[in-house]
Structure 1
Amino acid sequence: MRRICFQLQVKPDHVEAYRAAHAAVWPDMLVALRDTGWHNYSIFLRDDGLVIGYFETEDLDSNLAGMAQTEVNARWQTAMADHFVSSELPADQAFVYIPEVFNLEDQLANQ
């Protein structure tokens, strides 16, 4: 299973709205994420709007392509678009991926 970490930036005056939206994600969006292979998915949000996301996947390209084909993702991306600092792409296409440099379990397993 591959671990993925990404960052995005929410506008400072949209932090509370973004937090509220993620406190009650639409049920059909939750199902779509699960069904397209997003596992152990978490989003972290700093007060200044920095978003760090983490999930595990077998195939990132398939996850992204699967979500792109769902109607709920199109609605979600539209609903979230105004929260992010200017980007011409929907948020799920504008991820800035952060490379993993350490994992405790991996290193312990390799001893």
Structure 2
Amino acid sequence: MSISHPKRICQIIKLKPSAVEEYKGIHAAVWPGVLAALERAHIMDYSINYYPPFRLLIATMKYTGSNFEADMKAVSEDPETQKWWAITDGMQESFVEGAQGSGQDVPWWTEVEEVFRFEGKSQ
């Protein structure tokens, strides 16, 4: 897959009520190895927001590489990221039927369709 501009991605998942503070705490100090794996995979401008009424985590990011599938496979094979997911997946509830966790064949997070984008005028 070759892209000429960043691919923007939005994903959602539920946060377990008992895990809110722990999830926020671990994300206040994300492990350097996890961030390095994302950077190697051409992920940038990554953020996760939380909407408490629906216990909804909303992740947005930009992918700037040229082979998304291969880069995501590399992230899923990263040992530090696998350890991270072993902790964070237990705090989440997937919307995807049959999902067993991050980095598996069935997606853990649900990708959300973009229906509008405004980037403003270039100056």
Q: Taking structure 2 as the reference length, what is the TM-score of the superposition?
A: 0.77
- Cα 1:72/1:25, change in 2 over 3 Å: same
Q: State the secondary structure of the residue aligned to 1:94.
A: coil
Q: Give 5+ residue unaligned stretches, structure 2.
A: 1-5
Structure 1 residues 15-51: Cα deviation after superposition (integer angstroms, max 9, x where no partner):
1111111110011111111111111111111224210
Q: State the secondary structure of the residue aligned to 2:100.
A: coil
Which residue of structure 1 aligns with residue 75 of structure 2?
67
Amino-acid identity (%): 26
Distance (whole Å) between structure 2 residues aligned to residue 81 and residue 104 of structure 1: 32
CA root-mean-square deviation: 2.0
- Output the amino acid matched with 1:52: I
- Output the amino acid matched with 2:77: Q
Which residue of structure 2 aligns with residue 36 of structure 1?
41
- Output the amino acid matched with 2:21: E
Asked if residue 20 in structure 1 is aligned to residue 25 in structure 2, the reply is yes
Asked if residue 89 in structure 1 is aligned to residue 100 in structure 2, the reply is yes
Q: Taking structure 1 as the reference length, what is the TM-score of the superposition?
A: 0.85
Asked if residue 50 in structure 1 is aligned to residue 56 in structure 2, the reply is yes
Q: Give 5+ residue unaligned stretches, structure 1.
A: none
Structure having greater relative contact order (Cα 8 Å, sep ≥ 6)? 1
